[in-house]
């Protein structure tokens, strides 16, 4: 993403890529549903009509996470354009903590102290891994590649952390609170996503797009960003369905470690002490979080002689 935003030459409108990404995800989900219905067009259309129009109340529930994700997906472009890739990645991991907070507030999930500590360790570990001493020539190139506003970038990434936590948990609540399929939910999400995306595009770049065209500045790298965003988005949906948002944070953190190790072989990255400390903290965090938690104290009743007697829970 950062590479495509910092190249010289024609710069594409990021607001259009948010819409195209939503469109790609929605089309993929429509195809999956079609295959699930055995290619039976009548059954397929009936299913969509029932799920989207007849159950309109449910459909409209998706407007909230969809609107928030649209803002977030646009803000991420602001963030990567104004911060270095590493600073962006580190600060965006704060979503691990905002997600846990919204899990407690919206889903009533209970986390014991050790689990909060594990989440904090996870954030610190990922941050340490990512704040690697940078190559001075590369850093200078990055700085001069475009005028950056660290303040704007930071605000964008912090708002994205809050929105990621809230929208992720809200989507989990909707998904797990009904029997509707994940793919149908994502079609509903995508419908609003395209709608809100068009409003955002019109407000921010409407005049310029009228002049230069919707696909102005699209290169193969821009299409790659769209592909990655679409695939990543659908992956988030699947992870939320089969696991949960907090585990998603752990999976992402582990993937950061794995990609760093892989870059030893691909890009000649040298593993240093800082990486080992950070990776160690992430592993400790995963281990601590997944430890079986102590059962709540057994209920007890006071006998006439003043002694306590344990009673079994009904």
Binding residues for ligand C5P, total number by CB under 6 A: 12
Cβ 147 to ligand C5P, closest distance in Å? 26
Cβ 308 to ligand C5P, closest distance in Å? 47
Using CB under 6 A as the binding rule, the residues of this chain from 7 to 36 that contact ligand C5P are 25
User: CA 102, CA 173: separation in Å to the nearest integer?
Assistant: 11
Residue with smaller CB distance to ligand C5P, 79 or 275: 79
Residue with smaller CB distance to ligand C5P, 193 or 275: 193
Shortest-Cβ-distance residue relative to ligand C5P: 233
Residue 5 lies near ligand C5P (rule: CB under 6 A): no
User: CA 18, CA 72: separation in Å to the nearest integer?
Assistant: 10
CA 93 to chain centre: 10
What angle is formed at CA 129 by the lines to CA 86 and CA 249, rounded to 5 degrees? 85
Total residue length of the chain: 314
Helix (H), strand (E) at residue 194: helix 182-212
Residue with smaller CB distance to ligand C5P, 167 or 275: 167
Using CB under 6 A as the binding rule, the residues of this chain from 214 to 243 that contact ligand C5P are 233-234, 236-237
Q: Which of 51, 125, 168, 197 binds ligand C5P (CB under 6 A)?
A: 168
Q: Which of 189, 225, 279, 286 binds ligand C5P (CB under 6 A)?
A: 189
* Only segment of 53-61, 79-87, 147-155, 163-171 that touches ligand C5P (CB under 6 A): 163-171
Cβ 85 to ligand C5P, closest distance in Å? 15
Cβ 168 to ligand C5P, closest distance in Å? 5
- What are 196's two structure tokens? 């809100």
What angle is formed at CA 115 by the lines to CA 108 and CA 102, rounded to 5 degrees? 35
Inter-CA distances, 142 with 10, 118, 129, 145, 146, Å: 19, 34, 20, 5, 8
- What are 118's two structure tokens? 């594990």
Comparing C-alpha atoms, which of 273, 259, 219, 248 is closest to residue 85? Answer: 259
- What are 188's two structure tokens? 């509903």
Q: Which of 14, 15, 16, 73 binds ligand C5P (CB under 6 A)?
A: 73
As beta bridge partners, residue 310 has: 300
List residues near ligand C5P by CB under 6 A. 25, 69, 73, 164, 168, 171, 186, 189, 233-234, 236-237
């Amino acid at each position: 993403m950062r590479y495509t935003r910092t190249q010289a030459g024609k710069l594409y409108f990021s607001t259009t890529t948010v819409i195209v990404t939503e469109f790609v995800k929605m089309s993929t989900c429509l195809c999956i549903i079609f295959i699930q219905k055995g290619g039976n067009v009548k059954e397929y259309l009936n299913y969509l009509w029932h799920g989207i129009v007849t159950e309109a109340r449910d459909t409209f529930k998706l407007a909230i996470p969809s609107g928030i994700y649209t803002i977030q997906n646009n803000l991420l472009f602001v963030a990567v354009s104004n911060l270095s890739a590493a600073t962006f990645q580190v600060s965006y991991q704060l979503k691990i903590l905002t997600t846990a907070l919204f899990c407690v507030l919206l889903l009533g999930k209970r986390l014991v102290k050790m689990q909060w500590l594990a989440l904090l360790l996870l954030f610190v570990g990922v941050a340490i891994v990512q704040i690697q001493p940078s190559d001075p020539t590369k850093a200078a190139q990055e700085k001069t590649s475009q005028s950056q506003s660290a303040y704007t970038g930071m605000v964008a990434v912090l708002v994205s952390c809050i929105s990621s936590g809230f929208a992720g948990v809200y989507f989990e609540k909707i998904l797990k609170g009904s029997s509707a399929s994940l793919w149908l939910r994502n079609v509903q999400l995508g419908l609003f996503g395209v709608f809100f995306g068009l409003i955002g595009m019109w407000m921010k770049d409407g005049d310029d797009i009228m002049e230069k065209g919707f696909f102005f500045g699209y290169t193969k790298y821009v299409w790659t960003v769209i592909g990655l965003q679409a695939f990543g988005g659908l992956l988030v949906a699947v992870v939320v369905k089969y696991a949960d948002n907090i585990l998603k944070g752990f999976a992402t953190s582990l993937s950061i470690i794995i990609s760093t190790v892989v870059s030893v072989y691909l890009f000649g990255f040298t593993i240093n002490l800082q990486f080992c400390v950070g990776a160690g903290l992430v592993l400790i965090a995963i281990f601590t979080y997944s430890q079986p938690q102590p059962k709540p104290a057994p209920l007890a009743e006071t006998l006439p002689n003043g002694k306590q007697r344990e009673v079994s829970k009904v």
